[in-house]
Structure 1
Amino acid sequence: MKKWVATTTAILMVLSMVLLAACGKDGSNAMAEKQVLNVGFISSEPPALDPLKGTDEISSLIMRHVLEGLVRLDEKGNPIPGMATKWDVMDGGKKIIFHLRDAKWSNGDPVTAQDFEYQWKRMLDPKNASEYAYQLFYLKNGEAYNQGKAKAEDVGVKALDPKTLEVTLESPTPYFISLTAFHALFPVNKKVAEKNPKWGTDAKTYVGNGPFLLKTWIHDKKIELVKNPKYWDAKNVKLTQINFPFIGDEQTEYQMYVSGSLDMNRNVPTDLAAKLLQEKKAKVIHQPSLYFYIFNTKKKPFDNAKIRKAFSMAIDREAIVKNVLGQGQTPATGWVPWGIPDFAQNKEWVQTHPSYIQPKANPAEAKKLLQEGMKEAGLSQLPEISIMYNTHEGHKKIAEAIQQMWKKNLGVDVKLTNLEWKVFLDNQTQGNFLVSRLGWIPDYMDPMTFLDLWVTGGGNNHAKYSNPQYDALIKQAKSTADQKVRMEAMHKAEEILARDVPVTPIYNYTQVYQLKDYVKGVKIEADGSFTFTYAYLTEK
C-alpha cells in the first residue's frame, strides 16, 4: 500500500474519509436483511496472504481484513487502538511500550506480545529474504540482524509478558506508531506458523485475528471472507460476508456492476469514465500514489544513466494522461507524488521542489543523450528493448503509447511483454526485465515511504540502483525527528534520483469508481486503502 499496485488506478484520498452513499429509495436507512457485500476489486490472484511475503495492494487488501496490527488509523490517518489499547512513548521517542487487549486468534488462541515479537523477527531473519524487512530497520539492531551482523535477541522488540510489547528504535521515528497499522507489521500466530510454514496459503489452515475470516480461497477464481465472531469489536461489524471474485477484464467487471452482481466497481473502463462521471454514475478521487517505469540498472543498455535519461525524456506524459487515461490524472513532475506532505513547509511535497520532469517529451535532447550514452557504453547499437507489464488493459494502452513515443522520438523498436500478476512480480524480484511498469501506494503518509525504496540492497529496489550519496541522505533523514532536517535530506535525495533516473515517473493516480447507493460506511484511508470493516448494506 503502500505496495505494488496491480492496476492503472487505485483508490485514494489525501485525507481519510468514509464513503456514505445516499439513502435508499424509500428515504430510509433501514438495514438490509442480507449483509453480503460483492466487491469488484481484485483483477488476479493475490500472491501472498502471509505478512512475511505480501508486498502488493491485492494481498494487503485481504490481510487488512483478516489480520490486525497494534494500531489502526482513524479518518485523519492518526493511530487509534487496534490490538494495543494504549502505548507509552519514552526516551525521547526511542522506546515505545504497547499494552495489548484481550483478543483471540480465529482458532481460539490468545493474541500475545510474543506473536508480534516472533513475526517482526521473522520478517528480519535473513533466511526468509522478506522484501519488506527494511520497514523494521527502525528497530534497534533490526538492520544489523537482517545483514547477519547481530543476533535475534539483540533486536529492539521484546515481549515483556503476554500483554506487553517493548519496542526500542535506533532513532526517534515520528511515524513508527502509524507504521504498525501496515500489513508488514501485523502479527502471526507463533504456534501455527512454527508448526506449518505454509499456513497462509490455504483457507483451511489460515488463522487470523482480524474482523473477518478467510472462508474460501479458490486460487485464480475468488476469495470469500466471513465475519469473525472472535474479533474484539465483532459487535460493530455488520457485514456477514464479503465476496471478492477475481475479474481480469474491465468491461466484464463493469457489466457485473450494472447487472447487480457487484456492489462496487473500481475498474471503470477508460472509454466509459468521462461519460459516467458526467452522468454522475461514477465518482473520481485523487490518490497520493505514483505510476512509473523502472529501468534495470544492472543490464545493458540501462546501466548507463544518460541512456536511462534519454528514454525518460522521450515520454510525453501530458499526452498519456490526456489521450490514454483521461480520468483527471496529472503528469508526474518528480518521484514523490501529489498528496504527500512536506512537514517542514506545511505544504504538499510537489509544491516545495522544482519540476524534475517535464510533462512533454523533448525529442532533440533525448536523441542527443542517447547518442552520448551509447558512446560512453561502447555500444554501436542497442540490444532489443522490451517493456514488461502485468496483464491489464490500462497497462497495455500505456505501454503501447510509450512504445510509439520511443519509436518516434528515439528511433528505437520496442517489444511488449505482458504477464499474469504473480508471475510478473516474480520476474521483477528476480531482475528478469529491462523496463517494467509499477505503481506505488504509500505505506504511511511521509515522503520516506517513496524515497527509501531505492537504497542499496533495498527489498523493493528492483531497479538494483545504488548510490552511496543517496543512501547517506536517506540514513540522515531516518536518524532524526527534526522535520526540517528530514525534509531537506529527502529533497536532496530526490534530486539525485532525478539525475540518475533509475525510475521514470509517469503520472499521479486518480480513481474512477462506482458504489451502489445502498452501501454505507466504506472507508478510504489516507494512503488510499479500502477498509470494509464497518461497511453495511441498507434496503435497496
Structure 2
Amino acid sequence: MPHENIKLKSLTIAAAGLIGLLLADTVWAHHPAGTGGKLVFRLSSDIGSFNSIRTPVNNDTRNNPLAAMHDNLFDRDADTNELIPQAAVSAEPSDNYKRWRIKLRKGMKFSNGVEVTSQAYKAHFDRFLSSKPAGRFRRIMGPAMDRVEVVDKYTFDFHFRQASPGFKSILTMPIITWYVQEPGWVAKNQKKRSFGLTSIGQGPYMLKSWKPGDKITMVRNPNYWNPKAQHLDEIIYQIIPSRANAFNALKAGQIDVMLVPTTERDRAESSNTTVLDGVSNIAPRGIGFNSSVAPFNDIRVRRALIQAIDRKGVTMIGTRNETGVPTHMYPSDHPWFCKNTKMPWPEYSPEKAKKLLAEYGKPVKFELNIISIKTISLVAQSLQAQWKAIGVDASIKVGPRGPSYNRGITSGKYDIWWTNFGNNVDPSVVAINFNSKSKSNFYKVNDSAIDEALNKLRNAKGKAARLKASCNYQKLLVEQVRYYPFRNAVISVGFSNRIGGMQKPMSNGFKAHRAWIRKK
C-alpha cells in the first residue's frame, strides 16, 4: 500500500550523514549504478502480518520482505566478516559491556518523510519490551537486554543486565527486533485492525501492495538515505508453497531468487541459474536434552545415547554428501571456530553404550520431538533404530513447524528434541542457552562449572581472550554431553543468471534486495 503523504523530492543529507554515506559507498564500490528492473523472490508462505508483535516469528518469509523495508544498524560482509555501517555509524561498549552506545546516521528519513532519530528507536523498543512476547524479543537480542535510553537526537544506549560483549555482531542479524517503524505512524494506527497490513520503515524499499496468499510488491523508498543502493525498480515476493514448483519456476525464469536447501542444490542447477552457498553463521542442527529430568539428568545415559550413534552416517543422511561430522559449535569457516581445540566426543561404540545403560540400571524410554521436515524425519528414524539396538525405547513425535514447536522447547514441555542451537554470530549468544541463571536456559542445565566457564567468557576482553574462553566453554559442554550436533547449517541461494550482486547468505534473511538486474 503506497503512503498517501509521501512527496517525491531529492534526498538531503546533513554533513555528518554525508560522511557515513561516503563510507558505505566505499564498501559497496563494486556495485554498479541502479539499473532498474523487477526482481521476483520466492517465499514459501505468506508473511502473515507486518506487525511483528502480533507475529513474532523469525523466518525467511518474514525476514526477507521486512529487511527490504527496514535497514539494520549494521550489515556484515560475508567474506571478510567486517561490519558495514547502515542506519548507524558507530557502536561502542562501556567497559563492562553492559551498555552499548549507538550513533545514528544523520539525515535518514522513514518512507513517509519523517526524520529518523534516537527517539524512534526508544519508542520501538519500549513497545516491544512491554509486549506479550517481550521475553522472546529479549532472548534474540542477547544476554539479558533491559532497556533503551536516549542520549541525544542521534545517540542512544542499549542497556543490559549482564555483560553482552558480542552485541555488535547481533546488530547485523536479520531479526524482527531491528525492523523499526515510524513512531508517529505507529501511535496513530496501532489500535486499528489494519495495522499489520503495512509498515513504515527507513529501508530502501516500501510496500506498494500485498495480496495475501499470492504476493507482496515493493517499490523504491524515495526518501532513502542511499539511493545508489537502490538497484531495482520493483521487488515481487511471490508466494509459492511447493518447493518443486519453485524449482521449476526458477529454471524457467519465472522467479529470480529462492532459498535452496543444501541437500537439494541439484534441483536448482541449470544453464540459466547459479547456486551460491553461504557461510555457516548459525549453530549446528542437532538434539537437545532437558538435563533436569530423568533419564537425561544422568551423564551415563547422555553418553550412551551418543556412543550408540554412527555420527558420520547420521550426518550423511542430513547432508546427502560425504562430509565432516560436526564437533564444534562453529564450523571451520567461522571466525569463532576453535581450530586448536579437540572436542572430546564419545567414540562410536554400541557395546560401551550398553555397559553404561547397565550401570544406570533403569529402563530408558522417551519421546523424541521433531518438526515435519523429510530429512529430519529420516535422521530421527536412524537415531531411533540405533538406540533400539542398545535397548532404548525411543518413540518419535512429529510436531508443526513454527512458534508452537518452539514454545514446546522454551516452556520445558519436551525432554528431548530436534533443534538448531541458536544464532551463532557470537559466543555470548549461544552461551545463554546453558546458563543456569538465564531465562533462555532451555536445556535446564544447572552446573557450577558451566556457569563459571560462561562467566569467564562474559568477562573476557579482546578477541583472543574471548576465543580461548569460548573454546574452554564448548569443550566443557562436550565433556558433559549436553547436546548432540549432527550437521552444520549452511544457507544456499539459487538465482537466475540475469541477477548480479548476489551476496553469500549468512542466514535465511539474506537481503536479496541489494542485488541488481544485469544489463543485456
* TM-score, scaled relative to structure 1: 0.75
Equivalent residue of 1:463, what SS?
Answer: coil
Residue 307 (1) aligns with residue 301 (2): yes
Residue 40 of structure 1 corresponds to: 42
User: Aligned ranges for residues 270-285 of structure 1 at < 5 Å?
Assistant: 270=263, 273=266, 276=269, 282-285=275-278
Alpha-carbon separation, structure 2, partners of 1:316 and 1:470: 27
Pick aligned residue for 2:155 from 138, 155, 164: 164
- Does 2:469 align with 1:489? yes
Question: Structure 1, residues 337-395: CA drift from partner, whole Å, max 9, x if none?
Answer: 332324xxxxx32x22113336x74212222333434x3xxx4x344423321x33332
- Tell me how far 1:298 sits from its aligned partner: 4.2
Deviation at 1:216, TM superposition (A): 4.9
- Structure 1 residues 421 and 361 mapped into 2: Cα distance closer, same or farther (>3 Å)? farther
Could you tell me which of 53, 71, 84 is aligned with 1:68?
A: 71
Report the equivalent of 2:22: none
- CA, structure 1 residues 471+231, in 2 after alignment: closer, same or farther (shift >3 Å)? farther
Q: Give runs of aligned pairs for residues 110-125 of structure 1, distance below 5 A.
A: 110-122=115-127, 124-125=129-130
Partner residue in 1 for 2:516: 536
From the superposition, tell whether residues 276 and 237 of structure 1 become closer, same or farther in structure 2 (CA, over 3 Å): closer
RMSD, aligned CA: 4.1
What pairs with 1:16-415 in structure 2 (closer than 5 Å)? 35-40=37-42, 42=44, 50=52, 53-56=56-59, 58-74=61-77, 76-86=80-90, 96=101, 98-122=103-127, 124-125=129-130, 128-134=133-139, 146=146, 157-166=148-157, 175-182=166-173, 183=175, 184-185=177-178, 187-194=180-187, 203-216=196-209, 222-267=215-260, 270=263, 273=266, 276=269, 282-289=275-282, 290-327=284-321, 329-342=323-336, 348-349=337-338, 351-357=339-345, 361-373=348-360, 375=361, 379=362, 381-389=363-371, 391-415=372-396
Q: 1:457 to 1:71 in 2, by over 3 A?
A: same
Rounded Cα–Cα distance in structure 2 between residues aligned with 1:531 and 1:383: 44
Counterpart of 1:8?
none
| 1:475 CA displacement | 2.6
Deviates more, 1:42-51 or 1:525-534: 42-51
In the aligned structure 1, how far is the partner of 2:135 from the partner of 2:326? 30
Take 1:310 and 1:220, find their aligned partners in 2: how far apart are those partners?
Answer: 47
Letter in 2 for 1:352: N
Deviations 1:426-449 (A, max 9, x none): 3333333333222356453x3333
Unaligned runs of 5+ in 2: 1-26
User: Structure 2 vs 1, CA of residues 278 and 477 (structure 1 numbering), >3 Å: closer, same or farther?
Assistant: farther
Over 3 Å counting, the alpha-carbon distance change for 1:438 and 1:193 in structure 2 is: farther
What residue number does 1:3 align with?
none
CA contact (8 A) 2:370 2:377 kept: no
Q: Is the 8 A contact 1:120 1:185 kept in 2?
A: no
How far is 1:506 from its partner? 1.0
Secondary structure of 1:485's partner?
A: helix
Question: Structure 2: how far apart are the matches of 1:199 and 1:335?
Answer: 44
The equivalent residue for 1:429 is: 410
Q: Which amino acid aligns with 2:494?
A: Q
Shift of 1:263: 1.6
Shift of 1:415: 2.0
Could you tell which deviates more after superposition, 165-174 or 363-372? 165-174
1:48·1:54 contact (CA, 8 Å) conserved in 2? Answer: no
1:453 to 429, 433, 453: 433
**Which shows bigger deviation, 247-256 or 214-223?**
214-223
CA–CA distance in structure 1, aligned partners of residues 268 and 63 of structure 2: 31
Alpha-carbon contact 2:104-2:117 (below 8 Å) kept:
no
Matched, 1:502 2:518: no
- What's the TM-score, normalizing by structure 2? 0.78
Per the alignment, in what secondary structure is the counterpart of residue 503 of structure 2? Answer: strand
* Cα distance in 2 between the residues matched to 1:459 and 1:235: 43
**Deviation (angstroms), 1:411:** 4.3
Deviations 1:67-111 (A, max 9, x none): 223333345332333223456777698663514312222333321
Cα deviation for residue 113 of structure 1 reads 0.3
Q: Deviations over 1:137-192 (max 9, x none)?
A: 67xxx65xx5xxxxxxxx5x432332232457789866444432333355343344
CA deviation digits over 1:229-252, x for unaligned, max 9?
A: 222123431223333344444433
| 8 Å Cα contact 2:285/2:488 also seen in 1 | yes
SS in 1 for 2:68: helix
Structure-1 separation of matches of 2:235 and 2:192: 21
Q: What is the CA–CA distance in structure 2 between the aligned matches of 1:250 and 1:518, rounded to whole Å?
A: 21
Q: CA deviation at 1:64?
A: 2.5
Q: Deviations over 1:205-236 (max 9, x none)?
A: 42222222244556666544433222212343
2-structure distance, mates of 1:501, 1:92:
31
Is the alpha carbon distance of 1:532 and 1:126 closer, same or farther for their aligned partners in structure 2, counting shifts above 3 Å?
closer
Q: Please tell me whether residue 438 in structure 1 is matched to residue 415 in structure 2.
A: no
Structure 1 equivalent of residue 451 of structure 2 = 471
Distance in 2 between residues matched to 1:202 and 1:503, nearest whole Å: 41
Cα 1:325–1:336 change in 2 (3 A) is closer
1:243 to 1:404, Cα distance in 2 relative to 1, 3 A: farther
Question: For the Cα contact (< 8 Å) 1:288–1:441, is it kept in 2?
Answer: no
**Cα deviation code 1:13-45 (max 9, x no counterpart):** xxxx99x99xxxxxxx99876x22222354676
Could you tell me which amino acid in structure 2 is paired with residue 516 of structure 1?
S
Distance 1:291 1:329 in 2: 15
Q: Which shows bigger deviation, 175-184 or 120-129?
A: 120-129
Q: Name the CA shift for 1:425/1:415 in 2 (closer, same or farther; >3 Å).
A: same
The answer (yes or no) to whether the contact 2:368–2:395 under 8 Å persists in 1 is yes
| Contact 1:88–1:97 (Cα < 8 Å) also in 2 | yes
SS at match of 1:386: strand
Q: Which has the higher contact order (CA 8 A, sep 6+)?
A: 1
Q: Which amino acid aligns with 2:231?
A: K
CA distance in 2, matches of 1:272, 1:369: 41
Looking at structure 2, the residues matched to 468 and 124 of structure 1 have their Cα atoms a distance apart, in angstroms, of 30
Distance 1:457 1:393, change over 3 A: farther
**Unpaired segments ≥5 residues, structure 1:** 1-16, 22-28, 147-154, 343-347
Matched-pair identity in %: 19
- Paired amino acid for 1:107: N
Residue identity matched to 1:38: V
Cα distance, 1:95–1:406 mapped onto 2, change above 3 Å? closer
